[in-house]
Amino acid sequence: MASQNLNVGTTANDSTGDGLRTAFINVRKMFAEIYGITYSSDTQDISGQAFGVSLGQIADQAANTVIVRDANSEGDLSAKAVASTEILIGDGTGFTAASLSGDVTMDNAGAVTIANDAVEHSMLEARYTAKATSTSTGNQNIDASTATTFLLTGNVATATLTIQNMKLGQVIDIVLSGTLSSAAITLADDFTTSTIRRIGSTELDQSGKNVITLTCIDDTDSAALLHYTINTFQTDTQP
């Protein structure tokens, strides 16, 4: 509804303006619209409605805009244009409408794509980049979510090494560089049901240093499969 005119006449009491009833009916109509009430009759009770501005009462804006306070202080709202694939980014002084770029892009359906060769070593989680060292003796947990290389430098002795949190395709190295003269090692894991297979015929050499390389072939909890090899190692620059 357009605003209603209240005719107050030319001068006071000149009888040229609206009568009180007509004037207040126009006032009622405008208040009803402000409060979001559908005006149906001049005797309608329009009390009790909480004040609120409906979306339909907001002035039309250009296509593909959002209403924001585009400043770092209080003030009027404004319409911010947002083009296809753009998002609003707060920059401390308002908002910037921009598309993701560089290593990551996003289409207008919200699907994000990481660019080829954009993931660097430092961005990978610890299971692929970190090293853990233990000087403990006896049973130990080898948590594959925390490291990719495990250095066991203590007197391992009789020990069960429990492999935990392995993921499909993950490879870890367990380096046994401590005292192994009395070592008797058993491998276990935290899967509900699993099979651990040794590849090749080489076994633990108690007289030297050994490395166990373990690969997760299947991480299904009820049918996990782990393969490992064990070999001695020494400093040698000629294969």
Q: What is the pLDDT along the chain (239 residues), one digit of tens a residue?
A: 678 888 888 888 888 888 889 889 999 988 888 888 888 998 999 888 887 777 777 889 999 999 999 999 999 999 999 999 999 999 999 999 999 999 999 999 999 999 999 999 999 999 999 999 999 999 999 999 999 999 999 998 999 999 999 999 999 999 999 999 989 999 999 999 999 999 999 999 999 999 999 999 999 999 999 999 999 998 999 88
Q: Which domains does the chain have, with CATH numbers?
A: 1-58 (no CATH), 59-114 (no CATH), 122-233 (2.60.120)
User: How far is the C-alpha of 5 from the C-alpha of 137, rounded, in Å?
Assistant: 93
Q: What pLDDT shows up at residue 12?
A: 85
**Residues sharing a CB contact under 8 Å with residue 59, sequence separation 6 or more, in sequence order:** none
